[in-house]
Amino acid sequence: MATKPTTVYLVGAGPGDPDLLTLKAHRILREADEILHDDLVPSAILAVANPAAAVANVGKRCGAKTMTQEQINARMIQSAREGRKVARLKGGDPGIFGRMAEEIDALEAAGIPFEVIPGITAGMAAAASLGISLTDRHKSSHATFVSAHPARHDGEDVRPDWKNIVHPDGVLVIYMPGSNHARLRDELIAAGLDPQMPTALISRASTAEQTIQYTTLMNLGRVPPAAAPSILLIGRSLDRASRRQRAPELSVLIDEATSIFSHR
């Protein structure tokens, strides 16, 4: 008689600090027989796993895939059918730029039960580190989570539709901002965003390696790329953080309009 497959857990690892795991994610990681994780999940989070668990990095490393999506799907399905408790661990929240939809489709097609455990997404961890509210009654009516990584359609790179995404009263929370900040600045200004808009690039939010670089959209091209995962926040509700940062006791380096500093 075939045994009933176990539930596959699609788990948000949060932004990097193990203290920002949810209680539920923490428990599932401790109990899982098998953990299939994305590349950017830090070792401090994998250290939560049961020492007897099989832990595999199934992510992309510098663009090179260690496993194809089909292989990941097949492994989750096989392990669930064998009665193993599988945690598919994704950085941040699994439903925000986590490519979860394909995996859910495969699990559903195979009749495998699944549960999604939300996590703290990097954009919200970045805002928390800056001490700002993404939405603000007076400065920001909405926040848009968008990836600057181009989508591929019919073999062509399609850039985000910035003209219909940017808004003077919104905050942009840009995932995967890439290394060409000058091009991104040009696209956003061409789409109508105010060049004076306060901007912050946050790398590895919530971890000991966190860095924050404050600037304006106009000067974004002069900000060097930061280590992944990084988040670019742009909008008026960042006024508070950049004002605070300009206080002399906090400034480490200021050049004309762009100031760069890092703190924990």
Place of tokens 């909405």: 142
If one asks whether residue 17 binds a second copy (CB under 8 A), the answer comes out as yes
Interacting residue with a second copy among 237, 245, 258, 259 (CB under 8 A)? 237
- The whole-angstrom separation of Cα 251 and Cα 212 is 12
Q: Which two tokens stand for residue 234?
A: 């742009």
* 161 touching a second copy, by CB under 8 A: yes
Partners of residue 201 on adjacent β-strands: 213, 232
Contacting range for a second copy; rule: CB under 8 A; set: 39-47, 77-85, 100-108, 218-226:
100-108
- Encoded one letter per residue, x for contact with a second copy by CB under 8 A and - for no contact, window 56-95 reads -------------------------------------xxx
Is position 38 annotated as part of the catalytic site?
A: yes
Closest to 48 in 3D by CA, of 37, 60, 39? 37
- Residue the block writes with tokens 């906090």: 250
What SS3 class is residue 217?
helix
Q: Where are the alpha helices (DSSP H) in 63-216?
A: 69-81, 100-109, 122-130, 181-190
DSSP string covering 105-128:
HHHHHTT--EEEE----HHHHHHH
Assess 187 for contact with a second copy (CB under 8 A).
no
C-beta of 222: minimal distance to a second copy in Å? 26
Q: Could you tell me the smallest distance in angstroms from the CB atom of residue 13 to a second copy?
A: 12
Q: How far is CA 133 from CA 142, 174, 245, in A?
A: 11, 16, 16
Query: Is residue 179 close enough to count as binding a second copy by CB under 8 A?
Result: no
Site for a second copy contains 244 (CB under 8 A):
yes
Single out the residue of 21, 77, 188, 212 in contact with a second copy (rule: CB under 8 A): 21
Please report how close the Cβ of residue 129 comes to a second copy at its closest, in angstroms.
Answer: 8
CA distance 137 to 66: 45
Active site residue 60: yes
- The residue within the footprint of a second copy, chosen from 16, 42, 98, 229 (CB under 8 A), is 98
Beta carbons of 60 and 228 less than 8 angstroms apart: no
* Cβ 151 to a second copy shortest distance, Å: 6
Which of 72, 87, 117, 212 binds a second copy (CB under 8 A)? It is 117
Enumerate residues 120-149 that contact a second copy by CB under 8 A: 120-121, 124-125, 127-129, 131-139, 141-147
Closest-CA residue to 235 (of 96, 161, 149, 132) = 132
Contact (Cβ atoms closer than 8 angstroms) between residue 209 and residue 203: yes
Closest CB to a second copy among residues 5, 14:
14
Q: Which residues bind a second copy (CB under 8 A)?
A: 14-15, 17-24, 26-27, 93-102, 104-105, 108, 114, 116-121, 124-125, 127-129, 131-139, 141-147, 151, 160-161, 164-165, 167, 169-170, 237, 240, 244
Active site residues per annotation = 38, 60
